Structure 1
Amino acid sequence: MSGHSKWHNIQKTKGAADAKRSQMFTKIAREMIVAVKTGGSGDPNNNSRLATVIAKAKAANMPNDNIKRTIDKALGSGNTDSYENVVYEGYGPSGVAVIVDALTDNRNRTAPEVRHLLDKYGKGLGATGCVSWSFDRKGVIIIEKEDLDEDVVMMDALDAGADDMQVEDEVFEVYTDPDAFGTVLAAMEEKGYTFVQAAVEMVPQNYVKLENEDDIKNMEKLIDLLEDNDDVQNVWHNWDQG
């Protein structure tokens, strides 16, 4: 796991994420509805996908009332929301790898919008698999250091079933197998840890530095506009913002 750090990217976008909290809750709610419908259950103990989304919601400080209301809505017979998961891959400025994870009820609307942004601010949309080979799907749990002891956190994380942990200036980054993410998160929560962020993500195997100012501005614009799109759930990339 050495050689890359997710925290630099979170650090740069955390303020923007805080300002878009309402939009973030809406997107998590959509993800929760899909998890309930595909998993056939509103009980996270019997629906691993839902458990993963609930963990993500809690890490984002989504109120428990919102979570319960969303699950009840998904279980309601009158709910006709129908979304499909679509993943787009392409390139940002200077060949930065970009993966766009979307939940849409109309891919004929979503695809052209994603394509337009990648064409305008990057190098364009690519074929399926063009960049995902250079990412690993992992559970990522970010814990603020505060006064925590590194050795204790490492032991707790490994005991909980984590694969690895990295130490940054301000945080501990815990990595898990995607299937073990919910279990590890619950175990860490029971031990009293709180999280800056927790989700199953596509983690780059290596990062790209941008030196050109125009490239940096275009990459920032690309990420902002993709994240502003209501259909886009996640934007993963290998731009090193540190």
Structure 2
Amino acid sequence: MQTEKVIDHIVNWLKDYTEKARVNGFVVGVSGGIDSAVTSTLCAKTGLPTLCIEMPIHQAASHVSRAQEHIAQLKDRFENVLDTRVDLTPVFDQMTQQVSIKGDADRDELAWANTRARLRMSTLYYHAGLLNKLVAGTGNKVEDFGVGFYTKYGDGGVDLSPIADLMKSEVYAIGKTLQVPDSIMVAAPSDGLWGDTRSDEDQIGASYPELEWAMNMEDEGKSVSDFDGRKKEVFEIYQKFNRANKHKMIPIPVCDIPANLKL
């Protein structure tokens, strides 16, 4: 990959999009992970006002420290970067007290994890609306179009996606060139929605390099029967998540009413 040229291409794409949309820069949620670090740096490189927002909800200390390190570095490097911290923990706690319905324990935990992402999305859009900016998405290609590892109307609710055509390995390559802090480069990827340090691999059951391989194999028309051992297991994991999360990747289904019924 021609890393420098890819960076220039994305930066120019971002600038062109904002000019056509007649907005004043970007809002980015910074989590302490590689995707948000790369996205916020790309936005900063446009020279347009870039607001980085940290939004902890019972966040693991390591996530908080990495996010703060990255934001501090960005502000040192780019005069157009501003930041704010919105502690959503009290809001989340109040909501958990007000919602009385309970279901299956695992589903309940997942529902609250997704609620965290949706609270953050609302916070980003409040600032974007107030300041006439765009919410820049931080999803990569494997997450957005492979396994669907994001929250619908949470971190999936964005105005534009600058890195969604990049595999995770490519995001890391971009991050190295963009001088993303080492603490983020070596950290295990995590969605940060559980209040602990569990990684994406812990939740999915496969690493990003494995998922990239499976995504490429599917593009080549391969099937489960073509593999055995760990490769077969990874391919099955990939296909399971892809099928289950397909609803996130396609347009909202619309019930088309036959014309004769409208007469």
Query: What's the TM-score once normalised by structure 2's chain length?
Result: 0.28
Identify the structure with the greater helix proportion. 2
Structure with greater proportional strand content: 1
Q: Which has the higher contact order (CA 8 A, sep 6+)?
A: 1
